[in-house]
Structure 1
Amino acid sequence: MDQEKIIWQLIWIFLASLYLVHGQEVQITQGRLKGSSEKSRNGTTYFSFLGIPYAKPPLGELRFKEPEPHPGWTEELNATKIGNECPQRSLANNQLIVGDEDCLFLNIHTPKLDPGLKLPVMIYIHGGAFKAGSGGIFRAKFLMDRNIVFVTVNYRLGILGFLSFLDDVIFGNLGLRDQIFALKWIQGNIAQFGGDPNRVTIFGGSAGAASVDYLVISPLAKGLFHNAIIQGGTATSPWAFIPQPIALQRAEAVSTLVGCPSRPTAEALNCLRNVSSEVLVQTTDKFLELGMFPLGPFSPVIDSYLHPDQAILPDYPLALPPNPGLNIILGFNSYEGNMIASLACYNDFYLAISMETDMARALPLVTCVQDQVGYHEKGRLVTKLVDYYLDGSNITKDNVVKFADMGTDLIFGHPSFKAALNYYRNVPVYFYLYDIDPRVPIASLFGICPHIKGPSHGEEIIYFFDDIFPSIKLNKKEEELSNRLLDLWTNFAAIGVPTSSWTPVSSDRIDYLHMTKTGFTMKRGLYEDRMKFVDSLPLLTNRYNVRHEVEKTEL
C-alpha cells in the first residue's frame, strides 16, 4: 500500500509539473482564462495572464465614448500573449504606425493562484507623453521575487484618448477614464489571482506618473486604490496638462485637418468616427512645432464642463486635495532635464544653434511650458530663464549642464515640489530625489552628449523591470540597487510605509530621501533657490498658492 501511495504521488507530481508548464487556469466574471508559468530573477515560479480585455474594444460607436464592460467569452481565453498596443508611432521605428484600437487589455502576474492569499497588488501605468507606450512591455521578472500581484494596463492614447471639445459629446480624458475603469475591474477580479482589493498600489513613470497623480486627486478614482507612487511626472508637469482654450483649438483643428466639420460637435463626432486610427496618429504630428515638441499635444484637460458626478478633473490639479486615506511616494531624478539637454547637444549642438534665431518661441517649446505661459509673457519668461540658468548666454558645451537643470526644474522638479506642498498636510508624502549616475545613460537615446552628467528622466526604470532595454544587463552592484529599490516600493505596497528611516514631508521645506551611490539619507530643503526662482516665473502653475487656501482661477 505504501509503495502504491508513492507511485500515485509521483504520478501526481508529474501531472502537476505538466500543468505548470502548459499554464494555469483562472475563472473570472467574464469567463475562464488560461495563463502560463514563468521564472523570476531568483528562479521563483510565477504565473502570467496576458492580454485580458477589461472593456469592450472602443470601436465604431464606442470611439470617443466611455469604456464599457466587456461581455466576456464562452470558450477558455488563451491569456498567454500580450494584447494589442493602442495606435501610436512605433517606439522602435518612428516611421511606423503600430497598434490597434482594440487595445484595452491588462496583464496580471502572480506568485500563487489562491483567492485566500490576499497579497498586495501593484498596478503600473505606463508613460509615453500620453501618445505612446503600452503596459505589456513591463514584465514582472524582478517584482515576482516579492510577495505581490503585479498588473499593467493599456489605455487610449493621443487624439483617440484625449481629444476634447469641452462638452459632453467629445469630452476628453478618455485615457484616464480607461485607467479608472481598469481599476474597477481589478477591484472585482484581483482576488481570483491571489490579490487583495483592499491593498492596491498604483505607480508609474513619466506620463504614467502624471496619470497616477491625476488619479490621486480625481473624485472618480476615490476608494479604488490605497497607495500611490509618482516617479518623474505630475498632473501639473507642463507637458501633462492642456488648458481648456488650447484643448478646444486643437480639437477643432483636428477636425478640419481630417476633413470633418468642427461644429456642431455631434457632426464632428460622426465624421471623426470614420477616420482611420492611422490618419489620426499622423494628424498628431501636425501639431509638432520644433522636432518632437510639444511633447504631449493631446493630454488631460479640466473637464469642469461635465456634471460634477462625471468629471475626472473638476478643477485645476493644485486646487484639488488628494483623495483621503492615501499614502504617497513622490519624487524625481536629479538630472531629468538631460532629456532635453542631450537633444540640444546632439550633432554638434544643432538644435541649440537653431533655437538661437527665435528663443522666445523655441525655449518654451523645448522646456514644455509653451501652453503654460501667456503669449505676451513669453519674452520675459525666456529672458529670466536664460539669465538665471545660462548667465545670459546661448547653450554650449560649457553650460549645457545648467540647461539640463532648467529642464529638470521646469518639466519635473517644480511640479513635483508643488504637488508635495499640495498634499503633505492631508496625507503622508514620502519624497525622494534619485541621484545615482547611470552606467549606460538612457539620455543617450535622445542624442549622444558627453558633456552631461547624472540620472536622466526614466533612468531608474531598469532597476524595476527586466527587458525594457535588452542591451543593458545589470551587474552585481546594480542588482543590489535594484533589490533595495524594490524592497522600498513593495514594502510601501504592503503596509503603506516604505521604511521606518524614510520620514514623510513635514514642512514646506520638503523632507526627502536623497538616493546616492554611497547611501540613502534623509535631507531637508529641496533645491530651495531653484524652486524659489521657478515660483517667480509667469507660469500657470504659479497662479495657485498651495501653501494656503487656494483661490480658484478660471482658465
Structure 2
Amino acid sequence: MLSRRGQKFNAFLGIPFAKPPIGDLRFKNPVQITESWNGTWDATKYPPKCIQPLQGKIEGSENCLYLNLYSPKFADNRTSLPVWVFIYGGKKLFGDAAPYKYGPEYIMDKPVILVTMSYRMGAFGFLSTEDYVISGNFGLKDETAALKWIQTHIHSFGGDPHNVTISGGSSGGIDVNLHLYSPLSKGLFHKAISQSGHSLNSEVVHPSGTARALAWDLARIVGCNTSEIRTSEELLGCLLEIPSITLARASLKLMHDYILPFMIFGPVIESKYNEGAFLINDPCKDIEISSGIPWILGSIPDEGSQRTLTLFSKPKIIKHFERNAEKLFAEYFRFTYHPKAIEVSKKVIAKYMPHKYLNDSFHEISRIYAFSNFHLGTIETARRYKGPLYLYCYDHTNDYQYLKTYLQLLSSSTKFKIGAVHGEELISLFNNPLMYPPVLTGNDRIVSDQIIDLWYNFVACGDPNGNAPKIWNPVIPSKLNYLHIHNLTLTMKENYFIGEEYEFWKEIKTPTLCSRISMVHS
C-alpha cells in the first residue's frame, strides 16, 4: 500500500489476538491463543466486525477478536519502531477497526507501526451480573488482550514493545483513560492519547445495581424465565443458549426502552478478587491519577452537536421533553444525583433558554451537553493527573463535515451554524472514504499534517514537539495551559474553557462531578 506521501507500507489484516469468544467463552474474559498454526495465515482480508446494531439491523459476528497491523515496507525484526495503537469509539454499541473507516494512509507517512483492534460491544462486551459469574468489562479486557499480543509479537513486525502508545477517540478515548487506572493494563503501554474522552463522566461507569438489573432485563426479553431464575449461574446458563442475533436484537430493544439510549451497556467496578479484574476503583472517587505516563488529552468546542442532533431527530422525544422539561433535563444531562435535581434543571433552563422553546434551542442544548459532559470533566481530569499532560483544544472546522449534511436534513427552515464538532479531529488523522473525500486539500490538509506531526512526535518520544522548537508545553494545573488548534494557527493559551460558564457548571456539579444515576424507563 501507499501512504499519502507515497511511502510504501504493509497491511496485515485480521490477525487473531485471542480465542473466539463463542460457546462457553461468551461473557468470559478473553482467552490467550497458545497454539501455533501451521502454514501461512491469510492476512489480506477484512476481519468480521463484532456483532452490533447498525441502522436498525444486526451486523457482524461474535468471532471478532482480530487486529489490523500496518508497518513500513522496510520494517522487520531488526528495526525497533514506535507502536501506535488506536481504539475506535461508538458508545460501546457500534464501530469497527476496518481500514475503510480508519484508513492508515495519513499516519503511515511516518516510520511507525499502527495497530487497530476490534473488541466486544453491547451486551457481548459489557453485560454484567456484578459478581464473578459475568464479571463484565469484556470489551476493555479484549483491548488489554490485544496489548498483551503486541508485547509478545510486535518485534517480529519491526515494532518496539517498550515504546507503545494507546490512543482513542470518543468512547475509545474514555477507554484510554480507564487503561491508565487498570491494574490489568499496567506495563502494557507507555504513553496515552485521549481525544474527546475522559472518565469523569456519569455515562462511563454504571452505578452499583444498574448493570445487574440490565442483565435480568435482557434475559427476560430473550425469553429466559426470570421469575424462576435465582442465581447469576442460572442466568448465564440461559443466556449461553440464546442465538447471538437474538441477544443483539434484545440489546437494541433495551436501547429504545430507556430514555437514555447512550452507553446502555458500559464499564462496571469489579471486585479486586475477580480473576482478571479490569477496573477495581471508581475513577470518580479517586482524587488523583498517578500513573506518571505521558498523556495527551483534549476536546472540541462544539462537542454537543452530535448528541443534540440525535435528540432533535426524534420529534416524540422533543414532545416528551416539553411536557416535563425539568425532570427530563435532569435525566438527559445527568443531574439526578443532585438532592435538588429539579432546581438544578430550572437553573440550567433559565441560563441557557430563558425565552425559547426546546425546538428552537439546538445550539443551547449543544452547549449544555458539551460543557457538562466534556469540558468540565476534561478540566478536572487535567487538574488531577500526576504526570506529563499535554492539553489541547481542536478548533478547526473542516471543509467537509458529515454532521452538517444531517443537520440540514432536520429542517429546511432552520439553519444550524456549527463549528468544530465531536470527532472532527479524526478527519485529520484517518482516511475515511465512506464519509469524506480521500484526499484532503487546502487548510484541511495543512492542519492534518500538523496534527500527524504532533501526535507522531508524542508517540515516538513522549513529547509532541519532538526536536522542533517547543510550541506545546505540559499542563501546569494552576494555569491549565493548552494548545489551541485553530485553523492554521497553533497557539498556547491558558485557562482551558475557564470562565463564567465554567463557574456555573462547577457550582452545579460540585462536590460530586460524575455521581452515578440509574437508567430510567420511558
Mark yes or no: TM-score above 0.5: yes
Select 1:266's aligned residue among 233, 245, 253.
233
Mark the CA change 1:292 to 1:153 in structure 2 (over 3 Å): closer, same or farther: farther
Distance 2:299 2:349 in 1: 23
SS at match of 1:288: helix
Is 2:319 the partner of 1:358?
Answer: no
Is 1:343–1:447's contact at 8 Å kept on the other side of the alignment? no
Deviation at 1:288, TM superposition (A): 2.9
Deviation at 1:83, TM superposition (A): 0.8
Instruction: State the alpha-carbon separation in 2 of the partners of residues 469 and 293 from structure 1.
Output: 28
Counterpart residue number, 1:433: 393
Does residue 1:186 correspond to 2:153, yes or no? no
CA-to-aligned-CA distance 1:384-438 (integer Å, 9 cap, x gap)? 22122223643354x4322211111122222222221221xx1011011111223
1:257 is aligned to 2:217: no
Structure 2's unaligned 5+ residue stretches are: 516-522
Pairing partner for 1:525 from 491, 495, 505: 495
* Mean Cα deviation higher: 211-220 or 316-325: 316-325
Residue identity in the other structure for 1:460: E
Distance 1:472 1:436 in 2: 17
* CA deviation map 1:476-530 (0-9, x unaligned): 3211111100000000001101112211111244111111114111111122232
Percent of pairs identical after alignment? Answer: 32
Q: Which residue of 2 aligns with 1:404?
A: 366
Greater alpha carbon shift after TM alignment, 215-224 vs 445-454: 445-454
Relative to structure 1, is the Cα distance of residues 288 and 378 closer, same or farther in structure 2, using a 3 angstrom cutoff?
Answer: farther
SS in 2 for 1:506: coil
| Whole-angstrom distance in 2 between the partners of 1:515 and 1:231 | 13
Question: Contact (CA 8 Å) 2:50, 2:63: kept in 1 or not?
Answer: yes
Query: Paired residue for 2:513?
Result: 542
Determine if the alignment matches structure 1 residue 153 to structure 2 residue 117.
yes
Distance 2:450 2:144 in 1: 30
Whole-angstrom CA distance in 2 between matches of 1:281 and 1:96: 9
Question: Larger relative CO (CA 8 A, sep 6+): 1 or 2?
Answer: 2
Of the structure 1 ranges 450-459 and 159-168, higher mean CA displacement relative to structure 2 is found in: 450-459
Matched, 1:123 2:85: yes
Partner of 2:15: 52
Secondary structure at the residue paired with 2:161?
strand
* 1:322-374 CA-partner distances (Å, limit 9, x unpaired): 46341000001000111133345558x7754542112244334544x2xx633
Aligned pair 1:208/2:178, yes or no? no
CA contact (8 A) 1:255 1:272 kept: yes
Residue pair 2:104, 2:431 contacting (<8 A) in 1 also: yes
> What is the rounded CA distance, in whole Å, between the counterparts of 1:42 and 1:533 in structure 2?
47
| Runs of at least 5 residues in structure 1 that lack an aligned partner in the other structure | 1-37, 545-555
The partner residue of 1:100 within 47, 52, 61 is 61
In structure 1, give the amino acid aligned to 2:351.
Y
1:318 maps to amino acid: C
Code of the aligned partner of 2:281: D
Are the aligned partners of 1:400 and 1:452 in contact in 2 as well (CA < 8 Å)? no
Secondary structure in 2 matching 1:244: coil
Change (3 A) 1:539 1:126: farther
CA distance in 2, matches of 1:334, 1:209: 16
Aligned residues: 496
Residue number in structure 1 paired with 2:518: none
Residue type of the partner of 2:69? I
The answer to whether 1:477 aligns with 2:443 is yes
CA spacing shift, 1:330–1:80, aligned 2, 3 Å: same
Find the aligned partners of 2:223 and 2:510 in 1 and give their Cα distance: 35
2: distance between equivalents of 1:190 and 1:485?
25
Match of 1:83 among 47, 51, 72: 47
CA 481–239 in structure 1, closer or farther in 2 if over 3 Å, else same: same
**Equivalent runs, 1:447-462 vs 2, <5 Å:** 447-448=407-408, 450-462=415-427
Quick one: structure 1 residues 171 and 344, their matched pair in 2 at CA, closer, same or farther if it must change by over 3 Å?
A: closer
Cα distance in 1, alignment partners of residues 382 and 166 from structure 2? 17
Tell me the equivalent position of 2:519: none
Q: Which moved more, 1:61-70 or 1:443-452?
A: 443-452
Q: Does 1:315 align with 2:267?
A: no
Distance 1:350 1:392 in 2: 22
Within-5 A mapping of 1:292-311: 293-303=260-270, 305-307=271-273, 310-311=276-277
